[in-house]
Structure 1
Amino acid sequence: MKDFSDFFRNPHVWDREIVAVGGDLSSERLLYAYKNGIFPWSDQPILWYCLDPRGIFDLSKLHISKRVKRKINQKRYTITIDRAFEQVMRCCSHRPDEETWITELFIKGYTEFHKLGYAHSIEVWDEDGKLGGGVYGVAIGNFFAGESMFSFTPDFGKIGLFHLFEILKKDQFTLFDTQQLNIVTLGLGAYQISKKEYLRRLESAVGTGKKWTPPRVVF
C-alpha cells in the first residue's frame, strides 16, 4: 500500500475533523484513508475527515420495524451483491430535495475502487426485476464502511441493509462504520463512540487488509 502519511494528518494526534484538503480519489489513496479512519466528503476541493465522535452500528442490533420485518419475510424481492455497483451509487446520489456529495468524481473513484474489490453494493430488485433499493460501501478485512443507501421502492434500502448485516455477521465482520448519525441511521440503531475508541477498533478490524469475497446472489 502506498504511503500517504505526508498528505494526511495523523488522526491519532490531530484534534480537528478535517485531516487533509485536496488530492484525488485514486484507489491507493482511498485504501490508505479508510484503513486509517479517514473518508472524503465533498470534492471542490476534496475534504478528508476523521470525525469525533464517530457513528457506528452493532451488527447484531439493527432496529427494524414490524412493517419492514413483514416485507423481509414475504421475500417479494431478490438480493444481489455487486451486480450493479455504479447504478446503486447513482441512485444514492439522486436527492431531489438536498445537495449530494456523490458527484461524478466520487462515482468514478469508487467504481474503480469497486473493480479492485474494496467497494461493494447490495441490490434489492422487485418482482419485475427493477432496482428498488440498495446500499454501497467499503470493505477491508473485517471492517465495513456504509457510505449511502437508497429506496425507490418503500423500505427496500432497509431490506438491503438487513441482509448486508446478516452476511457480514456470517463472514465475521467486527466493525460497521456509518460515519455520522442522521435521523435514519439513529432510528436503525446507530450510536456514537469516541474517535480514540473507533481508531482502536478499526486497527483490529482492518487487520491485513484482505479483500472481501461476498456471495453474488443471496436469494
Structure 2
Amino acid sequence: MGGLTERPAAGGAQRLETALLIRAYSAGLFPMADTREAADVFWVEPRRRGVLPIDGFHLPRSLARTLKQERFLHSHDLAFGAVIRACAEEAPGRAQSWINPTIVDAYSRLHAEGHAHSIETWDKDGRLVGGLYGVRIGAAFFGESMFSRATDASKAALAHLVARLRLGGFLLLDTQFLTAHLARFGGHEVRRGAYMAMLDRAVLQTADWARIDQDSGVVAGGAAGWGAVAAGAAGAAASGAVAGARAGRGLAEVPPALPAGRGPSGKRIVQLLSQTS
C-alpha cells in the first residue's frame, strides 16, 4: 500500500496520516519500524494472523486469583502517552522495539481522534505498572503492544481488555502475530483468507467500547479503590516520592487526578470472563 506515508521535509520524520492508517487496518495491514531509532516504517500483511478469541479467552487460575485479590487498579485511556512510550522502551528480554517516533506520533493522533485506546494497570501507590494499547474500528480491536513493570501487570491489562471487548459486543481481537505468551490465553493463528473474512465482518459492525463503564457494578467497584490510589498519589507527590521515581527509571506515571470508576475491579473482570455466552 504505497503512498500511505508522507515525509514533510528533507531529513524530517516520516508522518502517517490517521485516515490512511484506518484504511490500512481495514485492509489487513499495519505499520512497523525496524528499530525504535529508525526513520521509516514499513507495512506488514502476515500470511498467518494471530487472533485471540474474545468468547474463548482462557483465564489462568493464577491470574484470576491475582485479580480477585485486587492487587491492581484498572483504567482505560487515562495515560495513553505513557503506555505507548513504555511499550517502546527497553525491557528485560527486549532490547529493541518496532515502535519509533513516527509510530508514537501517529497513534497519539489516532487516540486524540478516538480510534486508539489504552488499558492501564496501576499499583496501590498510584504507579503505572502495566498496560497495552491498540486500534478500534467497528467491532474489531487491533492489539499493538503491551508492557509490564510488575508481575502479572500486563496480563491483568489483557484480561481487562478482553472483558471490555466481550461486554461491548466486539467480534475480533487481532494480535497480529501469535506468541507463546498469547497462546496461553487461547490465542491461535488463522490463514489470511479466514482472517480477512473475520475482519470484513467485524469492521462493518458496531460495538460499545464504554459499555463496561456504564455497568453499575464497575462504577461501584471502582470508586473506593480509585479514591485510595488518588489519596496515595497525592501523598507521594507531597513527599517527593513520585518526582524521585520519575527522575529515576520513570516508574511513576501518576496523572493529576485519578477519577473514581475509571475501570472495573479485578473481581468484576473475573466475573465477566467467567460468564459463558
Range class of TM-score, shorter chain? 0.7 to 0.9
**Do the aligned residues in 2 keep the contact of 1:24 with 1:46 (CA within 8 Å)?**
no
Match of 2:25 in 1: 34
Is the Cα–Cα contact under 8 Å of residues 39 and 100 in structure 2 kept in the other structure? no
User: Is the helix fraction higher in 1 or 2?
Assistant: 2
Number of positions where the alignment pairs a residue of Structure 1 with one of Structure 2: 202
Are the counterparts in 1 of residues 39 and 102 from structure 2 also a CA contact under 8 Å? no
- Matched residue, 2:197: 200
SS of 2:145's equivalent in the other structure is strand
1:119-159 per-residue CA deviation (whole Å, 9 max, x = no partner) reads 00000111111111111101111000011111101111111
- Flag the structure with higher strand content: 1
Q: Give 1:206 deviation, angstroms.
A: 0.6
Query: Mean Cα displacement is larger for which, 83-92 or 203-212?
Result: 203-212
Higher radius of gyration, 1 or 2: 2
Change (3 A) 1:25 1:53: same
The DSSP-based 3-state class of the residue aligned with 1:99 is coil
Structure 2's unaligned 5+ residue stretches are 5-13, 214-261, 266-277
Q: Is the 8 A contact 1:123 1:131 kept in 2?
A: yes
Q: Which has the higher contact order (CA 8 A, sep 6+)?
A: 1
Deviations 1:87-124 (CA, angstroms, capped at 9, x unpaired):
00111112344210111211111000000000000001
> Counterpart of 1:117 in 2: which secondary structure?
coil
Deviations 1:193-217 (A, max 9, x none): 1111111111110116788446343
Q: Give the Cα–Cα distance (whole angstroms) in 2 for the partners of residues 176 and 28 of structure 1.
A: 21
* Matched letter for residue 30 of structure 2: F
> Does residue 218 in structure 1 map to residue 267 in structure 2?
no
* Cα distance in 1, alignment partners of residues 159 and 66 from structure 2: 11
Code of the residue aligned with 1:145 in structure 2: it is F
Moved more, 202-211 or 122-131: 202-211
Give the RMSD, CA atoms, in angstroms: 2.2
Query: Which amino acid in 1 is paired with 2:21?
Result: L
- The alignment status of 1:120 with 2:110, answered yes or no, reads no
- Give me the TM-score of the superposition, normalised by structure 1: 0.85
